[in-house]
Amino acid sequence: MPDQKTRIEGGFKATLGNIERYQAQYTGGEILLESGSKILVKSNIFIGAKEVNLLDKYSKNLAIEMFDRAVDFGWFYIITKPLFLVLHKFSDIFGNVGLSILALTVLIRIFLFPLANKSFKSMSKMKVLTPKMTEIRERYKNDKLKMQQEIMSLYKTEKVNPLSGCLPILVQIPIFFALYKVLFVTLETRHAPFYGWVKDLSAPDPTTIFNLFGIFNFTPPSFLMIGAWPLLMALTMYLQQKLNPAPPDPLQAKIMSFLPLMFLFLFATFPAGLVIYWTWNNILSIGQQWIILKKTK
């Protein structure tokens, strides 16, 4: 790394073959020296673990802009880096990355509480209105236009937005990918254990239901490595669906009923820390939604 006050031209390349060769270089501007004079040119080389706090320290001390980008935080850097810093702070407090993920989930739920609360209230009203909507569909089943008009009129009268239930999920998508990136690229979360059978939160759940979680000496194919945490996640997703109003379209309702099963196989390949986050998030959502549903009734 050259002096940050010096203008340079730099580049890098990688040659792929039997042996990967990487090269980086930079050239500075010309320097004119008078006879008998001398000049000192200083450069720095970083060789070591790409720990975020260490990179931030050098970035501050040596005035190196964006030196923390040596860790590939990805497109959601504006979310991923703060998420890592909060997770790292919680790790200092709790002494366990898994507990830190649980605490981070609670913090995110508190931050999103107003939005989620409004959404769950709307969905709870939708569930209460389901009998009326079924009656309208039955009454005007031969007149689709009239059916839609009556349903929209019911929404307007009851002040219900059928799309509001999507907002909390949409907001959490970048948070989900940001946490995935944190677990995937940061050294601080590598090989971080949790309680029980999870010895590495950055790796998938090592157990599988197909050998009864280790009771039988049998290792199934990789696509059948469905551990306890993915199963718990799918169960919480199923319970959450039961609290939501059923989709009016039978085909859509059938597709939605298969989502927990689809996510079960999908999440089985994800880092255990990410599955724990999503499971705990579902549990908190179920509790919040159940309370709101009781109050709505």
Residues 33 and 160 in one domain: no
Inside any domain, residue 200: yes
Residues 105 and 174 in one domain: yes
Inside any domain, residue 2: no
Domain count, the chain: 2
Q: Give the pLDDT score at 31.
A: 79
Question: Of 17, 43, 75, at which residue does a domain stop?
Answer: 75
Q: Give the pLDDT score at 264.
A: 93
Q: Are 106 and 277 in contact (CB under 8 A)?
A: no
Distances (CA, A) of 72 to 67, 77, 104, 160, 182: 11, 9, 21, 42, 9
Question: Of 75, 96, 130, at which residue does a domain stop?
Answer: 75
* HSE-up of residue 2 (Cα within 13 Å, Cβ side): 15
All residue ranges of the chain with pLDDT < 70 are 162-168, 245-249, 296-297
Residues 39 and 108 in one domain: no
Q: Give the pLDDT score at 163.
A: 67
Question: Of 51, 75, 99, at which residue does a domain stop?
Answer: 75
Residues 66 and 207 in one domain: no
Inside any domain, residue 80: no
Q: What is the CA radius of gyration of the chain?
A: 27
The backbone region for 159, taken as left when phi is positive above 0, alpha when psi lies in -120 to 50, beta otherwise, is left
Q: Are 264 and 232 in contact (CB under 8 A)?
A: no
Q: Give the pLDDT score at 296.
A: 62
Name the residue range of residue 140's domain. Answer: 87-296
| Entry field: residues in the chain | 297
Distances (CA, A) of 9 to 23, 26, 260: 14, 5, 52
How do residues 65-83 score in pLDDT, each as one tens digit? 888 888 888 888 889 999 9
